[in-house]
Amino acid sequence: MKKKYLTLIVVAVILASLGVLEYTQGTVSALAFDQMQYSYGSHVIIPPTTDNGSYLGGSYKINGTGRDFKMVLALYGAEKTESPLDYTSDGLRITGRINTVKATPQTIMYLFQKNVTGAMFNTIFTGDMNMTCAAWTGTSNFQNDGKTLTGTFFINGIYTDWKGNYTLTPDSESGKMMIIADYVYYNKNNTQDIINLHSVYYI
């Protein structure tokens, strides 16, 4: 009998410890997430930047195992109109890592509903990624507090550098995710001549 009580106490302590770790650090979520393999893709729409401009369309695909993921984004026909220093048919390639992850009750609910977007926006996580496209490279750090996904980025180009921040939110009208970005770019030889930009993308 004493051994049974001792076992129950040990189990209770373990469960309590896991609960505390999950609440404070997301340890259980991270252990489960590290075992997961996932693949997700969709279309991309980039609105015109001028009144006479046209929409750009494309697609992206994410593949990952646990914390590590890779993503390829391709814009259809963009290599015909963009400089080969800015974009080629190889597309934008990203290698990233989720550094911390913590599931919420809403995460589980959306996963049961097979709503990947809802699960992502309701999961708490932080991460970073490296980007390569044509002749430029870039880095980004991102975080989600379970409500809003935000991030910062820096792009190291041949002649210009870009840096700024972005917010990723679900768009109820289009049913897609909307990226709102505010950023600047400047010539490497003249960092005082800064141009401010605001862009919206749908993925």
| Span 179-189, pLDDT tens digits | 888 999 899 87
Pair (8, 86) in one structural domain: no
Range 191-196, long-range pairs (CB < 8 A, 24+ positions): none
Q: How far is CA 146 from CA 29, 42, 120, 168, in A?
A: 14, 22, 8, 12
Same domain, residue pair 44 and 26: no
* Predicted local confidence at residue 182, as pLDDT: 92
DSSP H helix total and E strand total for the chain = 5, 10
H or E stretch covering 28 = helix 27-33
Q: Residue 19: its pLDDT value, please?
A: 40
DSSP string, 82-123: S-TTT--TT-EEEEEEEEEEE--HHHHHHHHTT-HHHHHHTS
Give the pLDDT of residue 31: 61
Query: Nearest 5°: phi and psi at 111?
Result: -65, -40
> How many CA within 13 A on the CB side of residue 37?
0
Q: What pLDDT is recorded for position 99? A: 87
Tokens found for residue 104: 């919420």
Tell me: do 73 and 21 sit in the same domain.
no
pLDDT confidence of residue 91: 86
**CA gyration radius, the chain:** 21
Same domain membership, residue 18 and residue 111: no
In whole angstroms, give the CA distance from residue 46 to residue 201: 5
In the block, tokens 């792009």 appear at 155
Do 183 and 160 sit in the same domain of this protein? yes
Range of the domain at 142: 37-202
Residues of the chain with pLDDT under 50: 1-25
pLDDT score for 111: 75
Same domain, yes or no: 28 and 54:
no
Is the domain of 13 the same as that of 83? no
Q: What pLDDT, on the 0 to 100 scale, is given for residue 77?
A: 82
- Shared domain for 173 and 80, answered yes or no, is yes
Q: Which pLDDT value is given to residue 173?
A: 74
Number of domains in the chain: 2
71 and 160 fall within a common domain: yes
- In this structure, are 24 and 89 located in the same domain? no
Residues 19 and 75 in one domain: no
Looking at residue 140, its pLDDT comes to: 92
Quick one: 47 and 8 in the same domain? no
